[in-house]
Chain A
Amino acid sequence: MTQTQTSELETRLLTLAAHRFGKSVASLQPSDDVFEKLGIDSMQAMELLTEIEGAFGVEIPDYELQGVTTFAGIAALVRRRLG
């Protein structure tokens, strides 16, 4: 997978998150901590993930999310599912 595709996926993901929680896309970076940057709790983070799954047409089991805190980390999980 090329670098361009990678950043496209991340951009889509950041756009989704920004839209849901009323932030500007420009204020979010892939390396940001999802909880801190969006100021959300873990339940809201899970709601975001469900939305991401819907947008990308993948399913990520909850246990894979253990220890994942950044947008880049979530993007990696999505990418792995997309193959």
Chain B
Amino acid sequence: MESVEPSHSAAPRDARVYEMLDATRYTSVGAMLRDALVQFKTHLAFTELDRKRVVHRLTYLDVLRAVERLARRFEDAGIGAGDRVAIVMTNQARWPIAATAAFFRGAIVVPIDYKLTPAERQSLLGHAKPKALVTEYPLFAPHAEGALSAIPLVLVSEVPANARLGHAQPWGALDGSDSDGGEAAPLEAPTFVPRALDDVATIVYSSGTGGQPKGCLLPHRAYLAQYSALTSLFPLVVGDRYFSILPTNHAIDFMCGFLGPLCGGATVVHQRTLRPEFLLSTMKSQRITHMSVVPLILTAFERSIREKLDALPGWQRAAVDRLMKVNERLTEKRPNRLLSRALLRPIHDAFGGELRMLFCGGAFVEQERAEWFHRLGLPVAIGYGLTEASTVATVNDLRPFRGDSVGRAVSGVELRIVGADASGVGEVQLRGPTLMLGYLDDEEQTRAAFTDDGWLRTGDLGHLDASHHLHLVGRSKNMIVTRGGKNVYPEDLEGAFGSVACEELAVFAEGYLWQTRGELVGERLVVVARLKSGADAREQARFRDALLTANQRLADYKRVHALLFTDESFPRTASMKIKREVLAAGVRERHTTADVLALSEPSETLR
């Protein structure tokens, strides 16, 4: 067992850093946000675009006013300390405004993934039991009438004229200009409700659209510690422009596209469409300095650059290749944006010319891709994290750039490798102030998530190198992460195949069955099925067709890709649950990946 102390150096003595708030002075996220909104009041907090049109610009003072107005509304509805406020919204200024208003009231923010289906969202809302829901009309409308009636206060933005809202109410204009009858009473200031470090700040669902929702209870302490750690490495300050494109309900954008920039006086840019063409035009028009992406978006960017490069005449193309090599050598120790920009100006200009950093999450960034961006002088900081540990557990500090590792543990996070084999690979476990308190209303899963001595079991397999950089090589959990950054739990899919006739079936991540190393991208989900004994090819084909039909009905990122027939009956517990580990071991023993039949090509999506 190897234990590593936090190994990132302290904040660089950079004048820019001093403008940021000192998170150690606060006991709650709400108190820090309140100070930030006052301190940076004349600066631009949010710019929102719809395609190429700028639709909103809000200063920190505008945001403060909008937050106070909404917090007052929460207060009037009786929402206070410890009450839950759910948010189901796409990325726009109203998301952080709603969250901040909830924090002002001492409430717990429950971010819900807007990309889930209405039924899936409803099931999580049923689990979280919020006292208020803040949402937008296109997401509200598909819910059946009365489906949200258990939630006392439902506020809906972007309501079209004559829309039927049932018991829900329109949120209205952010500046209160459309209050009933034009008699906008002077705003009565809301009562700010203080919170302590160990009080719950958010409940974030890490998975479980099926049977077992896992709502991570994250305390204020976790966010404040994480804020200090991340901004000491990558300060976000006045003048920086962060492009928020990952869903704000997700841990990464919650930190990097909400708390991080707002507490440093930076500007957050939102774009109502996620199409690559408009992402690039916004990066250019808004001169974006920082953004977080998932591997899928990196791929789209790379495609776009390569198309441009391929269109160049041969000699120019060769010149760019040479410049990429020069740039790589000159920025070996640390990135130098101005130098890289001078060398590779046309490419940098396509991204606005001001881009300092692309953050990319996870074990799932292909090393070659990250290195390619690095050669262009566009630094990709690869990190690793999980919702159970706030946001980021390890990250590359780019001093120097490395594409082969997910970086070192950030300050405040302790990391150890447990049960290491001869090559040093074992389970990654974490400890520190950024960990969740547990799962909402689920003692059993909470117990399983931690070791007896309080370390979080990540379920990811990795090893540390001599410089304490973490290398992920696989996982011990039966789960996959898509290129779009979504967790898919095979257990959740088995219910969806309940109507497909067979003796029994189970779904596995291929990498869990065979523990393939280093192949974490584009992994397949495999259905292991047992048909009645003596089933012939025709019956196998019939089963396969039925499975395909059921598969088509699933959201595309959840679809299974492959099928394996087995003759052995599944090992089960006394309560008839499948013993997955035993079954997987049996499959591993009797079959190889060559026995797996492809169902269809995996299709990945962000949706």
A82-B90 Cα distance, complex, nearest whole Å = 26
Asked if A36 contacts B273 (CB within 8 A), the reply is no
Tell which of A46, A63, A64, A69 touches B556, judged by Cβ atoms closer than 8 Å: A69
Tell which of A42, A59, A62 touches B605, judged by Cβ atoms closer than 8 Å: A42
Asked if B275 contacts A50 (CB within 8 A), the reply is yes
| CB of A44 closer than 8 Å to a CB of B | yes
In the complex, chain B residues whose CB is within 8 Å of the CB of A42: 296, 484, 604-607
A19-B278 Cα distance, complex, nearest whole Å = 22
A63, closest chain B residue (CB) = B138
Asked if A63 contacts B139 (CB within 8 A), the reply is yes
Given that A35-B556, A36-B603, A69-B556 are known contacts, is A43 also in contact with B299, CB under 8 Å in the complex?
yes
Asked if A50 contacts B277 (CB within 8 A), the reply is yes
In the complex, chain B residues whose CB is within 8 Å of the CB of A64: 138
Chain A residues 25 to 68 lying within 8 A of chain B, measured CB to CB, are 33, 35-36, 39, 41-47, 49-50, 59, 61-67
Asked if A66 contacts B277 (CB within 8 A), the reply is no
Asked if B601 contacts A62 (CB within 8 A), the reply is no
In the complex, chain A residues whose CB is within 8 Å of the CB of B297: 43
B483, closest chain A residue (CB) = A41
Asked if B277 contacts A43 (CB within 8 A), the reply is no
A59-B115 Cα distance, complex, nearest whole Å = 20
Asked if B272 contacts A62 (CB within 8 A), the reply is yes
Given that A33-B552, A62-B272 are known contacts, is A41 also in contact with B603, CB under 8 Å in the complex?
yes
Given that A35-B556, A47-B275, A50-B275 are known contacts, is A66 also in contact with B601, CB under 8 Å in the complex?
no
Given that A41-B603, A41-B605 are known contacts, is A62 also in contact with B277, CB under 8 Å in the complex?
no
| CB of B276 closer than 8 Å to a CB of A | yes
Asked if B277 contacts A36 (CB within 8 A), the reply is no
Chain B, 478-489, contact with A by CB distance < 8 Å: what is the 0/1 string?
Answer: 000001100000
Give the shortest distance, in Å, between B557 (CB) and chain A (any CB). 9
Chain B interface helix/strand/loop/mixed: loop
Asked if A36 contacts B300 (CB within 8 A), the reply is no
A39-B117 Cα distance, complex, nearest whole Å = 24
A41-B139 Cα distance, complex, nearest whole Å = 24
A47, closest chain B residue (CB) = B276
Give the shortest distance, in Å, between B360 (CB) and chain A (any CB). 15
Asked if B300 contacts A44 (CB within 8 A), the reply is yes
State the interface size on chain A (CB cutoff 8 A): 22
Give the shortest distance, in Å, between A46 (CB) and chain B (any CB). 4
Asked if A66 contacts B607 (CB within 8 A), the reply is yes
Chain A interface helix/strand/loop/mixed: helix
In the complex, chain B residues whose CB is within 8 Å of the CB of A45: 605
In the complex, chain A residues whose CB is within 8 Å of the CB of B117: 67
In the complex, chain A residues whose CB is within 8 Å of the CB of B604: 41-42
Given that A35-B603, A61-B138 are known contacts, is A41 also in contact with B296, CB under 8 Å in the complex?
yes
| CB of B598 closer than 8 Å to a CB of A | no
| CB of B575 closer than 8 Å to a CB of A | no
In the complex, chain B residues whose CB is within 8 Å of the CB of A39: 601
Asked if B276 contacts A62 (CB within 8 A), the reply is no
In the complex, chain B residues whose CB is within 8 Å of the CB of A41: 296, 299-300, 483, 603-605
In the complex, chain B residues whose CB is within 8 Å of the CB of A44: 300, 303
A45-B556 Cα distance, complex, nearest whole Å = 13
A64-B272 Cα distance, complex, nearest whole Å = 12
Tell which of B276, B299, B605 touches A35, judged by Cβ atoms closer than 8 Å: B605
Given that A41-B296, A63-B90, A63-B138 are known contacts, is A46 also in contact with B603, CB under 8 Å in the complex?
no
| CB of B274 closer than 8 Å to a CB of A | yes
Asked if B601 contacts A43 (CB within 8 A), the reply is no
A77-B255 Cα distance, complex, nearest whole Å = 35
In the complex, chain A residues whose CB is within 8 Å of the CB of B484: 42
Given that A36-B601, A39-B601, A42-B605 are known contacts, is A62 also in contact with B299, CB under 8 Å in the complex?
no
In the complex, chain B residues whose CB is within 8 Å of the CB of A62: 272-275
Give the shortest distance, in Å, between A63 (CB) and chain B (any CB). 4
Chain A, 65-80, contact with B by CB distance < 8 Å: what is the 0/1 string?
Answer: 1110100000000000
Give the shortest distance, in Å, between A58 (CB) and chain B (any CB). 13
Asked if B606 contacts A43 (CB within 8 A), the reply is yes
Tell which of B51, B115, B300 touches A43, judged by Cβ atoms closer than 8 Å: B300
A71-B573 Cα distance, complex, nearest whole Å = 46
A49, closest chain B residue (CB) = B275
A39-B272 Cα distance, complex, nearest whole Å = 26
A42-B560 Cα distance, complex, nearest whole Å = 17
In the complex, chain A residues whose CB is within 8 Å of the CB of B277: 47, 50
Give the shortest distance, in Å, between A71 (CB) and chain B (any CB). 15
Chain B residues 35 to 78 lying within 8 A of chain A, measured CB to CB, are 51
Give the shortest distance, in Å, between A21 (CB) and chain B (any CB). 12
Chain B, 269-294, contact with A by CB distance < 8 Å: what is the 0/1 string?
Answer: 00011111110000000000000000
| CB of B600 closer than 8 Å to a CB of A | yes
Given that A36-B600, A36-B601 are known contacts, is A61 also in contact with B296, CB under 8 Å in the complex?
no
Give the shortest distance, in Å, between B373 (CB) and chain A (any CB). 16
A42-B606 Cα distance, complex, nearest whole Å = 6
Give the shortest distance, in Å, between B415 (CB) and chain A (any CB). 32
Chain A residues packing against B (C-beta within 8 Å): 33, 35-36, 39, 41-47, 49-50, 59, 61-67, 69
Please, could you name 25 A-B residue pairs with CB atoms under 8 Å apart, sorted by A?
A: A33-B552, A35-B605, A36-B600, A36-B603, A41-B299, A41-B300, A41-B483, A41-B603, A41-B605, A42-B607, A43-B276, A44-B300, A46-B276, A47-B275, A47-B276, A47-B277, A61-B138, A61-B272, A61-B273, A62-B273, A63-B90, A63-B139, A65-B607, A66-B115, A67-B117
Given contacts A43-B296, A62-B272, 15 further A-B contacts (CB under 8 A): A35-B556, A36-B603, A41-B300, A42-B605, A42-B607, A43-B297, A43-B299, A44-B300, A44-B303, A47-B276, A47-B300, A59-B51, A61-B273, A63-B138, A66-B607
Interface pairs A-B: 3 shortest CB-CB = A42-B605, A43-B300, A35-B603
